[in-house]
Amino acid sequence: MENNSNNLNQANMPMQNNIADDEIDLRELFTAIWQGKWIIIAITTLFAVASVFYAINQPNIYKSEALLAPAEQDKAGGLGALAGQFGGLASLAGVNLGSGGGVDKTQMALEVLKSRQFTSEFIQKHNILPDLMATKAWNRDVNTVSYNGEVYNKAENKWLREVKAPLKPEPSMQEAYKVFSQLVTANTNTENGMITIAVEHVSPYIAQQWVNWLIQDINKTMKQRDVLEANKSTTFLTQQLEQTKIADIRAVLYKLVEEQTKTIMFANVRDEYVFKTIDPAIVPEQKSGPKRALICILGVLLGGMFSVMIVLIRYFVSEDEA
């Protein structure tokens, strides 16, 4: 029995020693931190001041958004009614009868909205490159935007950026696309199918204007695509009518031509072709960013962790040298 108790005591000794070592290590850590408390306070204060200075100098960002609904499409009748009967023939003519299985027009419009081609055309059409790439701040009193003098000279309409090749002083459309994609969001509510298009900018008026332009341009772009497709299909169908003498086939072709004509008429008389505006964009009164309080808090936390790390490294380096 005595031997067993001795063996148990010996087995417990390493565990007790490990616990004691852990306690000593924790004491050393707290001792090191306490000895370096002034370094920690100084570095944390420096980070806090820097984060406050950084947050204050960040311009306010305003977010304007519009709520949209997918425009109703005639699927029950018209083209939809012909889909089951003449889908095969229509596909040969490049005619989409809405028989299902294709890409949803609303989803396609959103993808077009996010595409490089649409974005580049949008930027060039509305000449918004300076407002996109060179804005510095917005003056509320006179409702004007100031530009970064090191980047762009508004009076001479000249770009002054100092960049390395292959970049040029004037930003390329690839650069503009990256920045524009960060400012513009288009989200779909999965529950009700509503779409929200939002733009963030230092000027609330520019943000609102861009949202309105985006809605107008995407409706116009999708309309032009459908009209172009319908015209091509009509041309093909007309050629087939001239080549065939079979009455049944001619009747089918006439119906397809009729539906393509309806598509063209429908597009031409409807401005809100893909998206209907439910709640239009407004000029926001309150800023959406930056979160200055959060920036300051993160700065203080980063400074505290950095200073503690420095203190501990210095303490253990000095212990090893000793």
DSSP secondary structure of 9-50:
HHHHHHHHHHHHHHHHHHHHHHHHHHHTHHHHHHHHHHHHHH
The pLDDT-based confidence of 37 (bands split at 50, 70, 90) is confident
The pLDDT-based confidence of 276 (bands split at 50, 70, 90) is very high
Q: Using the structure block, give the residue that is written with the tokens 């005619």.
A: 95
Residue 97: phi, psi to the nearest 5? -100, 10
> SS3 breakdown of the chain: % helix, strand, coil, rounded to 5?
60, 15, 25
What is the Cβ-side half-sphere exposure of residue 278, based on CA atoms within 13 angstroms? 10
pLDDT at 319 over 60: yes
Token digits of residue 245: 């003498």
Q: Can you give the length of the chain in residues?
A: 322
Q: Note the pLDDT of residue 14.
A: 52
Lowest mean pLDDT among 256-260, 284-288, 307-311: 256-260
Q: Do residues 130 and 161 touch, judged by C-beta distance below 8 A? A: no
Residue 279: phi, psi to the nearest 5? -130, 105
Q: Using the structure block, give the residue that is written with the tokens 């926001």.
A: 284
CA distances from 5 to 10, 13, 172, 312 (A): 9, 12, 81, 42
Which range, 23-37, 60-74, 110-124, is most confident?
110-124
pLDDT at 237 over 70: yes
In degrees, to the nearest 5, what angle opens at C-alpha 265 toward C-alphas 261 and 268?
Answer: 140
Token digits of residue 181: 């994609």
Q: Note the pLDDT of residue 101.
A: 45
At 163-217, the pLDDT tens digits run 888 889 999 999 999 999 999 999 999 888 899 999 999 999 999 999 999 999 9
The pLDDT-based confidence of 75 (bands split at 50, 70, 90) is very low
pLDDT at 100 over 50: no
Better-scored residue on pLDDT, 281 or 318: 281
% the chain with pLDDT above 70? 81
Q: Mean of the pLDDT values across residues 268-290?
A: 91
Q: Mean of the pLDDT values across residues 130-145?
A: 92
Q: Using the structure block, give the residue that is written with the tokens 């063209």.
A: 264
pLDDT at 99 over 90: no
The pLDDT-based confidence of 243 (bands split at 50, 70, 90) is confident
pLDDT at 298 over 60: yes
Better-scored residue on pLDDT, 229 or 18: 229
Lowest mean pLDDT among 27-36, 63-72, 195-204, 294-303: 27-36
The pLDDT-based confidence of 82 (bands split at 50, 70, 90) is very low
pLDDT at 289 over 50: yes
Q: Note the pLDDT of residue 12.
A: 52
Q: Mean of the pLDDT values across residues 206-229?
A: 94
In degrees, to the nearest 5, what angle opens at C-alpha 263 toward C-alphas 258 and 264?
Answer: 100
The pLDDT mean for the chain works out to 83
What is the Cβ-side half-sphere exposure of residue 43, based on CA atoms within 13 angstroms? 16
